[in-house]
Structure 1
Amino acid sequence: MQYCRTLIFLTLLLYSVIPLSAQQTGGTSSKELDQPEWTPEPDRKTRFGKDEPMVVSDGKKQPKITNFLVYGATIGSPGSANLNLGYYYKDIVIRASGMHWRPHWWGGQVDLGYSFWKTPVIAHSISVVAGAFAVDPYAPQVAHGGQNSYPTAIDVPGYQHRNPTFEDTIIRSAVANQNPTLETYLEYKSRDNQKVHLSQRYIGLTYDILLGNFFLQVGAGIGQGNYTNPQLLLQMGYMFDTRSSQ
């Protein structure tokens, strides 16, 4: 009888200890799973988890900021309305512009520039330019370009100045006395109300901006020709480009 009681007591004790041990083991495993992962750093600092680099992309390819061709049309100097062709190579800008309308109305210019700020949308540059142009305005007013007088259409002594000098007046009087018909012809060819052929060769400095497809160039130039004052250099227009997506 005493033996049976002892056996029953041990059996109950065993059944009560086994579930408690299993519960403690499960709790320990759960705590281990809940602990964050950590990785040691070279500077002996502890970092929990691993940081993945964030890559933000809208899926659109950005155009090039350099190494592309531009071409288009502008109004302004040197040829009034111009065709343009240029290339942006790294920080260097090379450009040519101009137009030939008729023998006494044309213009051409070459640019060599440095692009000091550029993005996929805008490019700023400063250029050294050299060019030449010719125009034939009708009866222009004197001194708009710093001139004292304009040449006439003929190269005959006494008729070379649109505003006759004292010497010109003496020569014209002598011609009128000798041959009135010749004097009438020479007076007609040297009259004020006619076209004047003017030309200029120049070098200058400009600031250029390419904003999308809009192009603007503004600066000043000086050189040799019929204009003694510095000349305003201005171009604006639309430029196509070959900025292929990268």
Structure 2
Amino acid sequence: MKRILSFIIIIFLFSFISSVHSEEAKKDYKSEDPSPEWTPDPDRKTRFKEEEKDDLNQKALPKSTNFFVYGASIGSPGSINFNLGYYYKDIVIRGSGGHWGPHWWGWQADLGFSFWKTSVIAHSVSVVIGQFQVDPFAPELGRGGQTSYPTGSDFPGYQHRNPTFEDAIIRSYVAQQNPNLATFLEYESRDKQKVTLNQRYIGLTYDFLLGNFFLQVGGGIGSGDYKNPQLLIQLGYFFDTRSY
């Protein structure tokens, strides 16, 4: 009987201690409740505590309009070109060119419309006008688009790279009358020499500016020593004045 009574008392004490411990655990949980605080809004609405502002939204984005670009490119019109341009809203104004010798130079002026522009990328189409002059050594007719070019001689019958029928008659007559003069004129009008090629053109191009990378590709038509249409292409690296 005493053992049964002792066993009941032990069970009662254990139950009492367990209930006290669970009450203390509930109090601690309530004190650590992570639910957000709320405050009444002036317009009689309930709102939670304001969330922290996103730092990314606070940073000023780079200006995507009204900025200068400057740099260098390779391609038309001057082989190696210096470039200066201005993006004003949706209008693009740009000039490019280079001068590397008395007969090796070129220039081009662009007026374009930017149909897609962000702080990183700009797509535009441009109307371009330009002119270039080159003096390659021993150019081949048809290579590079040239249709004809003069020789190094101004003597009648020896002025054309590809002799015409009239040129052939004149050369035959000179050879009969003075073989030494004919040999000299043939040497002056030889193929392996520098010639001057000139071209003026107007064209339409697509322009692509991605960060500092610039690409322009299009076509042009004009007058000069090259046949139409001509390929217009520039590939370059530009700096800009956009503020970050």
Q: Same fold (TM over 0.5)?
A: yes
TM-score (norm: length of structure 1): 0.76
Deviations 1:104-161 (A, max 9, x none): 1111000001111111111111111000001112222222355553321223221122
Aligned partner of 2:235: which letter?
M
Aligned to 2:55: 57
Aligned to 1:79: 78
SS in 1 for 2:194: coil
Matched, 1:103 2:102: yes
Shift of 1:38: 6.4
Matched, 1:202 2:208: no
Contact 1:145 1:228 in 2 (8 A): no
Aligned to 1:28: none
Aligned to 2:46: 48
SS in 2 for 1:83: strand
Contact 1:158 1:169 in 2 (8 A): yes
Contact 1:104 1:135 in 2 (8 A): yes
Aligned partner of 1:180: which letter?
P
CA distance in structure 2 between the partners assigned to 1:156 and 1:238 by the alignment: 47
CA distance in structure 1 between the partners assigned to 2:181 and 2:82 by the alignment: 45
TM-score (norm: length of structure 2): 0.77
Aligned partner of 2:150: which letter?
P
CA distance in structure 1 between the partners assigned to 2:142 and 2:232 by the alignment: 19
CA distance in structure 1 between the partners assigned to 2:137 and 2:148 by the alignment: 14
CA distance in structure 2 between the partners assigned to 1:231 and 1:54 by the alignment: 59
Matched, 1:177 2:202: no
Shift of 1:55: 4.9
Distance 1:110 1:142, change over 3 A: same
Aligned partner of 1:142: which letter?
L
CA distance in structure 2 between the partners assigned to 1:127 and 1:149 by the alignment: 30
* 1:128-143 correspondence to structure 2 within 5 Å: 128-143=127-142
CA distance in structure 2 between the partners assigned to 1:61 and 1:91 by the alignment: 21
CA distance in structure 2 between the partners assigned to 1:114 and 1:73 by the alignment: 21
What percent of counterpart residues are identical?
68
CA distance in structure 1 between the partners assigned to 2:141 and 2:78 by the alignment: 21
Number of equivalent positions? 207
Distance 1:36 1:88, change over 3 A: closer
CA distance in structure 2 between the partners assigned to 1:37 and 1:163 by the alignment: 94
Aligned to 2:16: none
Contact 1:84 1:95 in 2 (8 A): yes
Contact 2:220 2:228 in 1 (8 A): no
Contact 1:94 1:112 in 2 (8 A): yes
CA distance in structure 1 between the partners assigned to 2:98 and 2:224 by the alignment: 19
Aligned to 1:230: 229
Ranges in structure 2 where 5+ consecutive residues have no aligned partner: 1-37
Instruction: Detail structure 1 runs of 4+ shifted over 6 Å in the superposition.
Output: 50-54
Contact 1:113 1:125 in 2 (8 A): yes
CA distance in structure 2 between the partners assigned to 1:38 and 1:244 by the alignment: 39
Contact 2:157 2:163 in 1 (8 A): yes
CA distance in structure 2 between the partners assigned to 1:60 and 1:36 by the alignment: 29
Rg bigger for which structure?
A: 1
Shift of 1:83: 0.3
Aligned-residue RMSD, C-alpha? 2.4
SS in 2 for 1:174: helix
Contact 1:65 1:118 in 2 (8 A): yes
Contact 2:208 2:214 in 1 (8 A): yes
Aligned partner of 1:204: which letter?
G
Contact 1:39 1:50 in 2 (8 A): no
